[in-house]
Structure 1
Amino acid sequence: MAVEHTPPSTYILRELHDVAIPDSVTWAPQTIGWKILGVILLLVAIYLAYRLAQKWWNNRYRKEALQELMILDARDKNSTERTFKVLKVVLRYLDSSNAKLFGQAYVNRLNAYLPVSANTSENSNAFFADEVSELWMQSLIDPNVRLSFEQRLEVIQTAMMWLKLHKPDLQAKPDVQAKPDVQAKPEGQDNV
């Protein structure tokens, strides 16, 4: 039920005009500076979202490998072999040339992916530098070499810690196999 208002009819209010309603104020910025700032903030937000998605995409293998290691039981005698397989898949994912590594070369490559702090030497930062890692590699070859429960647990926990801390993009690959030195010859010299 709408009531319609009629203008006053008395002679005093005859010359009265309606009040002009002002235009509504927009929330959009009026000056160019705010628009530029808005575009810059939008670009920064897009960049940060891209970097976050890229970080998630590049580290999804860690999560999958950690889940595989979490379900391993150290009471299982094959847990060290399965740990080796998980870390081998991770190494192969990081660099396909790691597929052929085994034994001490494999352990050296695992340690090469660990970050080295400025005030420590390379060997003090190695996770797989003790006799348990040597026994671990031996147990994969020789069925007579068996690891104790504590040693299997240590191998699994060390592998999990390695997965959390390794840096795939910063590692300097050591020469795992001895390669002969090849010297570059200046241009113009023939190989005789």
Structure 2
Amino acid sequence: MTIHQPPSTYILRYFHDVEVLSPISWYPQTLGWQFLGAIALALLAYGIYAQLKTWYHNRYRSEAKQALESLSLESEQFPRELFTIMKAVLSYLSPGNSTAFGTPFFQTLDNYHSPSLPLPLQQRWTLSLVSRYAGLSKVEKQQLKHYCLDWLKQHKVASL
């Protein structure tokens, strides 16, 4: 804000300058506007808090998604790495899920997400984890990867 200075030349010495009013404050002067501003500020703070809380509770999804997308379908260890990632996510959601294998593992996945993996694919995946001679075809690996990515995006968690 600048302070108004009257002209100083001798030609204008008999002229009277228009009086400049004092500046108007941007701060609301009535209690109602202050109250409304405080409510708006509180709502904004709560909205930011809710967004941060949602992000914090869902950060595991983005980490697991990045790990899944980095897996190579040509890798011999693909089924084991995929299982390890999904097991880590289930263990994060509930520490009791850390011992699930086979049918209990798939039941736990189904408890969080409705469309389940077809039974033959479940059996082939489990068999490929325990036997190095049982492998998965590229199509089966793609189906598993797609199912796991879909599961990560859409599973529902009651509360963390």
With the length of structure 1 as denominator, give the TM-score of the two structures. Answer: 0.72
Question: Is the counterpart of residue 165 in structure 1 residue 147 in structure 2?
Answer: no
Cα RMSD between the aligned structures? 2.0
Aligned to 1:48: 47
Give the structure with the larger helix fraction.
2
2:68 and 2:134 mapped to 1: Cα distance? 22
- Per-residue deviation at 1:3? 6.1
- Per-residue deviation at 1:130? 3.1
Aligned to 2:83: 84
1:27 and 1:4 mapped to 2: Cα distance? 32
Question: Is the counterpart of residue 68 in structure 1 residue 59 in structure 2?
Answer: no
Identity %: 30
Q: Conserved in 2, the CA contact under 8 Å of 1:92 and 1:99?
A: yes
- One-letter amino acid matched to 2:8: E
- One-letter amino acid matched to 1:75: E
1:165 and 1:80 mapped to 2: Cα distance? 21
Q: Conserved in 2, the CA contact under 8 Å of 1:133 and 1:155?
A: no
Q: Conserved in 2, the CA contact under 8 Å of 1:139 and 1:147?
A: yes
| Cα-to-partner distance string for 1:121-169 (whole Å, 9 max, x where unaligned) | xxxx323243112211121112232211110111111111111111122
1:168 and 1:58 mapped to 2: Cα distance? 10
For structure 2, the 5+ residue unaligned runs are 1-5
Of structures 1 and 2, the larger Rg is shown by 1
For structure 1, the 5+ residue unaligned runs are 115-124, 171-192
